Amino acid sequence: MRLVIATCSVTYAGRLNAHLPLATRLLMIKADGAVLVHSDGGSYKPLNWMSPPAALRISEPAGDEADAGIAEVWTVSAEKSDDTLSILIQEIHHDSSHELGTDPGLVKDGVEADLQRLLAAQMTRLGNGYSLIRREHVTPIGPVDILAKGPDGTVAVELKRRGDIDGVEQLTRYLDLLNRDPLLAPVTGVLAAQQIKPQARTLAEDRGIRCVVLDYEDMKGEQAGEPRLF
């Protein structure tokens, strides 16, 4: 990765046009060809960027650009479109390159796969009388996270870290399909999540879907056999 702090102006031309006037900014040139323009604010989001695959060409300024004090012209061209990012460098304050190596990727804790695994082993989190039939029950429109046996019949469980309206809609589609199977019907639904948005809860209850909030830390502790006060 190359990191350049420079006084520059930036113009993006293509599907949209955008211009950043002259200011001191951080330019990031990644090994995959991506070029990102950052300011000292705005959190993580760049002011402008060119996604890979792209090619960077550095050239001398033309007459008018040289007269305006421009030292270098960077032209970043997208390989799959006519989009270009033009960076006019007036002064470079810092320029360094770093070999980062292969990144192992982000390891998330508490993702839906972990919730599914824990709930499958702790079905009483849904209430008394629940037992696991199978995880990842295959349907023509996608897998149901957990198919369970409840006190009143078959139950389809949709697991989310944060339950929202999209989760309710997804579970509704599964229920519509599963209830056409005479071997499973009647099938009711449970939306289980660490957090459930009020709008999602209202829609779920209107459709006869029960909402269950899961305590992920408590579920992990039960699996590990940690002492519990209650």
**Mean of pLDDT values over 58-69:** 94
Rounded to 5 degrees, what are φ and ψ at 14?
160, -125
Alpha carbons 8 and 22: distance in angstroms, whole number: 5
The continuous run of DSSP H or E covering 188 comes out as: strand 187-196
Q: Residue 45 has what pLDDT? A: 84
Provide the pLDDT for residue 113: 85
Least confident of 87-91, 102-106, 198-202: 102-106
Cβ contact 24:42 at 8 Å: no
**Cα angle value 35/54/64 (rounded, 5°):** 70
Q: Tell me the per-residue pLDDT of 144-158, one tens digit each, with 9 for 90 and over.
A: 999 999 999 999 999
Decide which of 111 and 11 is more confident: 11
**φ/ψ (deg, to 5) at 153:** 130, -160
Q: pLDDT band at residue 230, thresholds of 50, 70 and 90?
A: very low
> Where is pLDDT greater, at 112 or 87?
87
Residue 196 CB coordination number (10 Å): 21
Answer yes or no: pTM beyond 0.85: no
Domains of the chain: 2-97 (2.70.180.20), 112-224 (3.40.1350.10)
Amino acid at position 151, single letter: P
Residue in the structure block whose two tokens are 């589609």: 173
Instruction: Quote the radius of gyration of the chain (alpha carbons, Å).
Output: 27
CA–CA distances in Å: residue 134 to residues 4, 102, 156, 219: 53, 37, 10, 19
Residue 59 pLDDT more than 50? yes
- DSSP letter, residue 225: T
Residue 108 banded pLDDT, cuts 50, 70, 90: low
